[in-house]
Amino acid sequence: MKLLTLTAAMLMISLITFAQQVATIKGKISTSNGRPAPFISIGLKDKGQGTTSDDAGNYTIHRVKPGTYTIVASAVGIKASEQSITIAAGESKVVNFTLVETDQALEEVTVAGKNNRYKIGLPSASLRLNEPLLEAPQNIQTVSDQVIKDQQIISMSDGLIRNVSGATRIEHWGDMYTNITMRGSQIQAMRNGFNVVSSFWGPLTEDMSFVDHIEFVKGPAGFMLGNGDPSGMYNVVTKKPTGFNRGEVSFTLGSYDLYRTTIDFDRKLTNDGKLLFRLNGAVQNKGSFRPYEQNDRYSIAPVLSYQITNRTKITAEYTFQNAKMTEVGSYYIFSPDGYATYPRELTMTQPGIPPTRINDQSLFLNLQHNFDDNWKLTAQAAYFKYNQVGYSSWPSAVNANSTVIRNVAIWDSESSMKLAQLFINGKVKTGGINHRILAGFDGGKKNYMADWGQSHNLDLPTAPFDLNNPNYSSPLNGYPDFDRTTPLAQRAINAGGLMDSKYLSAYAQDELGFFNNKVRLTLAGRYTYVNQSAWGGEAYSAKKVTPRVGLSVSIDKNTAVYAVYDEAFTPQSGLIRNGGKVEPITGTNNEIGIKKDWFDGKWNTTLSVYRILKQNELTADPTNVIITDPADPANPIRENFSVVLGEKRSQGLEFDLRGKITDGLTLIANYAYTDSKVTEVTPGVTGINVGDVVPGFAKHVSNGWLTYTLQDGALKGSGISAGFTYLAGRATDTWSVGLQKLPNYFKLDGGLFYERSKFKITGNVFNILDKYLYSGSYYQYLNAYYYQAEAPRNYRVSIAYKF
C-alpha cells in the first residue's frame, strides 16, 4: 500500500504542471431577473458541438479544440444570444449568458425541455469519473428525476428497474429492501458513492422524495466505489441545493388507500449565494389489495452547503426515514398445488400482529477543493444507523389439503456503518497524451446484529389455517410474546445474528488519451484488505489486488466503442453447515460495447455483450429444514445455512435506448438476454449440479416507456404515456429439487398528464390488462410452492405545484 500510494503521489506531482491539448467551456444561463434558464441549447456555431443547460441553468461543453468560436444559446420560442470567444489549449473557460426573456417567456421552453430529461450525459461526482458517459469504457445507465416523476415512482422498489436493461427483483422483501438482480447476481446498493449494504438485508428502500437520480453501473465498479460485485451496482444520488430559490409541493392519491405528500424547498440563505439550503420531505399512508397490510412512511432530508472559498465547498446532509409496515412475509401465499391457485387478494397474515417499525438515519459530510481547473480533491464521510423492531411470518408446515401452520418470528435488528473516502481527480498532458487521473482511499466499519431466534406458531396442528376458507379471528394458539427485556446484543449472540466488517482499500487509475483523445486506454489497480465475521463465527481477513483494463475509441464525436476487463473482490456473510470458512467473492468481467448519441445528442443507445465468471459465492443450502424442539413445539426454527457454490458463469447481451426521438416524443426502451449457469460445484454440495440454471433472473427482459407531449394548440402541455415489461424464461429464486419454472410475464401501464408553467397533473394506470402477475418458487422442505401476487389494475393521480 505504501509503495502504491507513493507512486500515485509522485505521478500526480510530476504531471500536474503539464497543459491540456483540448479545452472546456462551461457556464450558467439565467434570465434578466437572475433565475435559472433550464433546457437551453448551447453550441458552437456551425460546428455541431454542444449541449443543453440543466435544471440550475448550468452547462458544460467538453473536448473543444483551441481556436475562436461563436457560442450560441437558443431555444424554440426565444431569441438566440451569441458571444464570440477565443479559447486556448488546456483552458477551462467560463461563459455565462443572461437572456432578456422573462421567466414567463421561458416557462414553455422549460416544459418542452423536460421531454429530453430522460437522457443524462454526465455521471454524478460520486461516481468519480471525470468524463462524459459516452467516453467511459463501461455500460452506465441513468434513471433521471423526470422519469421518476412521470412514472410516479415513490420508492426504489416501485417499478424503477423497468428503465434499465436486465434488472429484475426477487420479491421476498416487498417494499422493505430493494435487492436488485442483474447479470445473474444481486448487485450492490450505493448511496452517494458509499456501499450501504451492512448485511444481506438492507438498506431500507429509499423514498424518492429525496432522490435526484439513480445510476446503474454494469459490471465491476471497484475502481469507483470500493468492493463491488462482478455484476454491477446502483448508486442513488440524493438532491442537493442548486443555488436558486424555488420549491415544489405534490399530492398523490391512489388505489388501496394511498395518500402521499412531498415537499422540495430549495433556497439561498445568504445574498452572495455561499450558504445554500435544501429540504425534502414526504408523508405517506399506503394500504394494499391484500387486507391487513400497510406501508406507512415519512422521511425528511435537510442539506446545507457552504462555499468556503471560490475553490472550496462543504456539504452536510442528513436523511431520516421511518417505516411502519406489516411483518415481512405477509405478502406470500404457500400452496401444495402450484402457483396462483388462490385469489390474489388472499393473505396469510394475522390481524393483531404488531407492525414492524424501522428508523433509518444517515449523515453525509462532503468537502471538495479545486486546486485549479484541472485538479480536484474530494473528502467525504458517512454514518448510517438502522433500528428495527419487528416480525417476519413464514409457515412451519404446509399440508396437502391446503391447510398451513402459520408461524411468526421475531426480527429485531440494528446496524451501524462508519465510512470514509478520499480521492483526487486530475487532468494532465505528457507529450501528445492526455491523462485523466483518479486515485484515492476507501475505508469503512460495518456492524449488524439481529434477533431472529424466537418464533411462535399461530395455529394448532388440530386446527390449521385453511387457505380455502381463511379465518382471521384470534389465533387458537394465541399471539407471540417474545422476550425484548434482554438487550438486543445478547439476543443476537444467542441467535447467531452478529456480523461485522472492516475494510481498507487504495486505488489508482489513469485514462490515457491518444490522437486528440479519440482513443482512450484505461489502466487501473486496486488493493483491498477486509476483516469480517458473521453468525457468531471467528473473524477472518483477506486481501487482494484487482486490476482493470479498458479501451474506448471515438469513431466520431457521437459514437464510441469500448472493451473492458475487470476483476472483483467482494466480502460476504453466511453460515456453512460444517463450519467452513467463508471466503470473499472473486470474479472477472469481460465486456465489449458500442455507444451512440443520435441527432445532436437528443437520444442515446448502448449495446453491450459480456461474460462474467464468479467464484466462492454463497447461496442458500437446498437441504435446509425446519427444526422443532419437542420441548417447545410452538417455536420451530428454520435452518439458515449456506453453501459455497463453486463457480457460476453469466453471459449475455444488453441494449438500452433513451431520450428525445422527435419534438414531444421521448422513449425509454431496453432488452437483455441473460444466460446464467453453474460451471463448477464445490465437493460435498448436494442439490446443485453443473449446468443448473442460477436462481433469480429472467433469460429475456424487455421494457419500454413512451411519452408524447402536444406541442401546440389548446391542449399544449398535455400528453400520454404508455409502458410495458416483458419477462420470459424466468428462473425461480431457490435451488429446491422439483421446482417449476415460472410462466412468462407481461405488464402494461399507461397514463395521461397536463403541464403548465407552475403545475402538473399526472395520472397513471398500472397493470391495465388486470393480469394475475406473480413471482415465487418451490421449497422442498415444505413440499410447497410459494408466490407473491402483484396488485390488480390500480391507479395513481398526482398534482404538483411549483413556487
Can you give the residue ranges of every domain in the chain? 1-116, 238-448+457-802
User: For residues 593 and 534, which has the higher predicted lDDT (pLDDT)?
Assistant: 593
Whether the pLDDT of residue 11 is over 50: the answer is no
pLDDT score for 565: 92
d(CA 28, CA 99): 11
Could you tell me whether strands 185-186 and 211-218 are parallel, antiparallel, or unpaired per DSSP bridges?
A: unpaired
383 vs 45, 363, 724, CA distance in Å?
A: 48, 5, 38
Q: Cell numbers at residue 702, please? A: 424487455
Q: pLDDT digit string (tens) for 653-690?
A: 999 999 988 888 999 999 999 999 989 888 878 778 88
Contact 61, 69 (CB under 8 A): no
Q: Any bridge partners for residue 606, and if so which?
A: 595, 656
Whether the pLDDT of residue 109 is over 80: the answer is no
Q: Could you give the count of Cα atoms lying within 13 Å of 355 in the half-sphere of its Cβ?
A: 15
d(CA 196, CA 188): 8
Q: pLDDT digit string (tens) for 692-741?
A: 888 888 999 999 999 999 988 888 889 999 999 999 998 887 766 545 57
pLDDT score for 79: 66
Q: Cell numbers at residue 146, please? A: 423526470
d(CA 459, CA 479): 10
pLDDT score for 515: 92
User: For residues 725 and 131, which has the higher predicted lDDT (pLDDT)?
Assistant: 725
Contact 665, 610 (CB under 8 A): no
pLDDT score for 104: 45
Contact 589, 578 (CB under 8 A): no
d(CA 758, CA 752): 18
Could you tell me whether strands 97-99 and 23-31 are parallel, antiparallel, or unpaired per DSSP bridges?
A: parallel
Percent helix, strand and coil across the chain, each to the nearest 5: 10, 55, 35
Q: Cell numbers at residue 543, please? A: 486481501
Q: Any bridge partners for residue 370, and if so which?
A: 376
Q: Which residues contact residue 66 at a Cβ distance below 8 angstroms, ignoring those fewer than 6 apart?
A: 22, 23, 87, 88, 89, 91
- The overall average pLDDT reported for the chain is 86
The 8-class DSSP code of residue 473 comes to: S
Q: Which amino acid is at 18?
A: F
The C-alpha angle with vertex 790 and arms to 787 and 791, in degrees rounded to 5, equals 145
Per CATH, which fold does 238-448+457-802 belong to?
Maltoporin; Chain A (2.40.170)
SS3 622: coil
Q: pLDDT digit string (tens) for 210-245?
A: 999 999 998 876 555 555 677 888 999 999 998 878
d(CA 667, CA 657): 7
User: For residues 582 and 92, which has the higher predicted lDDT (pLDDT)?
Assistant: 92
Give one DSSP letter per residue of 409-462, joined into a string: EEEEEEEEEEEEEEEEEEEEEETTEEEEEEEEEEEEEEEEEEE---EEESSBTT
Q: Give the pLDDT band of residue 113 (cuts 50, 70, 90).
A: very low
DSSP H/E element including 559:
strand 559-570
pLDDT score for 173: 75
User: For residues 189 and 16, which has the higher predicted lDDT (pLDDT)?
Assistant: 189
What proportion of the chain, given as a percentage, has pLDDT over 70? 89
> Ranked by mean pLDDT, which of 88-102, 207-221, 244-258 comes out on top?
244-258
Is domain 1-116 annotated with CATH 2.60.40.1120? yes
500 vs 445, 446, 540, 657, CA distance in Å?
A: 8, 5, 11, 41
pLDDT score for 612: 92
d(CA 81, CA 83): 7
Give which of 427, 556, 510 is closest to 24, Cα–Cα.
427
User: For residues 622 and 406, which has the higher predicted lDDT (pLDDT)?
Assistant: 406
d(CA 346, CA 334): 11
Contact 214, 235 (CB under 8 A): yes
Q: Which residues contact residue 343 at a Cβ distance below 8 angstroms, ignoring those fewer than 6 apart?
A: none
What proportion of the chain, given as a percentage, has pLDDT over 90? 54
Q: pLDDT digit string (tens) for 313-344?
A: 999 999 999 999 999 889 999 999 989 999 99
Q: How far is CA 510 from the centre of its chain?
A: 27
The C-alpha angle with vertex 800 and arms to 794 and 802, in degrees rounded to 5, equals 170
With 0-12 / 13-18 / 19 or more C-beta atoms within 10 angstroms meaning exposed / middle / buried, residue 155 is buried
The C-alpha angle with vertex 585 and arms to 582 and 590, in degrees rounded to 5, equals 165
Q: Which residues contact residue 594 at a Cβ distance below 8 angstroms, ignoring those fewer than 6 apart?
A: 559, 560, 561, 562, 606, 607, 608
Contact 93, 60 (CB under 8 A): no
Q: Cell numbers at residue 331, please? A: 405478502
Least confident span in 377-391, 455-469, 608-622, 769-783? 608-622
Q: Give the pLDDT band of residue 75 (cuts 50, 70, 90).
A: low
Q: Cell numbers at residue 93, please? A: 473557460
Rounded to 10 degrees, the C-alpha dihedral 154/392/470/742 comes to: 70
Please confirm whether the linkage preceding 203 is cis (ω < 30° from 0). Answer: yes
DSSP H/E element including 490:
helix 488-495
Q: Give the pLDDT band of residue 125 (cuts 50, 70, 90).
A: confident
